[in-house]
Amino acid sequence: MILERIHELMRYETAGDPVTGLKWTRKTTKKLAVELAQYRIHISPNTVGRLLKALDYRLRVNYKANESGNRKPVDPLRRDEQFRYIKSRRIEFGRRGHPVISVDSKKKELIGNFKNAGRSWQREPIRVNDHDFHIDAEGRAIPYGIYDEQQNRGYVVIGTSYETPAFAVDSIVEWWCKIGRKSYPNAQELLILADCGGANGYRSRAWKYRLYRELCEPYELSVTVCHYPPGASKWNPVEHRLFSEISKNWAGRPLTSYETVLKYIRTTRTEAGLTVDAHLVNMIYEKGESVSTAQMATIPLAKNEQLPDWNYTIQSSRM
């Protein structure tokens, strides 16, 4: 009962490593103890700490991860405001029964007899190439993940060319056609949680334009997108609820073929009920797609007043 209540309180306050599965939170044990007292659960902050360890949370120290250079650092107040806004939208969509998906691309993987991080139980160690030369690879796998937090279900599209906005949107459209609209037959709205950069970055015109042309218009959907602030990608649920579990499942196993990659993704399971499906796409995606100002002007795009860069809604013209 207590663990379940802590898990619920941490639902929107969790970040995690997509490879190791380690989780952490911005909340202190003292704050959690106060919140638990509101549910008539009276325990000390030290006890909260022990229970967090049982849920795979650990204390974290600072580590060097932020990009240096001329990029202007994010205002901490603006960052916190965005976290609160994302939490409110997740709760709102969940209460109304509308789908909430978290999306991102996982680390690209070389296909071949190469070392894969982690350890697995074997009588003898698996012998792999002593160097990871690209020339020895059959190809590379570019996983794009879609995690449905209400269904606790993942869908991963494996690309073989480049990570582009077109690939990202095609992956989401494929999820919607095969799973999304069957799971949510009456839904006219979709919430997408994404990182700030990459194929689904907030500055990408191609990302927004393709969402409109390939998802909103054909399926008469209103799509709201919320981007996590720069440097906060590990708070995106797909990282620690989907990708970390996939990494655990194939830890220490060389990814010798695309079928091997698909097998390990499809067999990823958790005690909490996570299920995952995967599909290989051999389409060639070209980098550097350009979308003109005139094309952008055709999109019915409404931006959030307080945080317009990171939050916006794109509607079908038929709604």
- Residue-wise pLDDT for 175-215, tens only, equals 999 999 999 999 999 999 999 999 999 999 999 999 999 99
The confidence score (pLDDT) of residue 92 equals 96
Residue ranges of the chain with per-residue pLDDT less than 50: 61-70, 123
The confidence score (pLDDT) of residue 138 equals 81
Q: Quick one: 76-314 is in which CATH superfamily?
A: Ribonuclease H-like superfamily/Ribonuclease H (3.30.420.10)
The confidence score (pLDDT) of residue 2 equals 77
The confidence score (pLDDT) of residue 68 equals 42
Q: Model's pTM, two decimal places?
A: 0.79
Which segments of the chain belong to CATH 3.30.420.10? 76-314
The confidence score (pLDDT) of residue 62 equals 46
Read off the amino acid at residue 312: Y
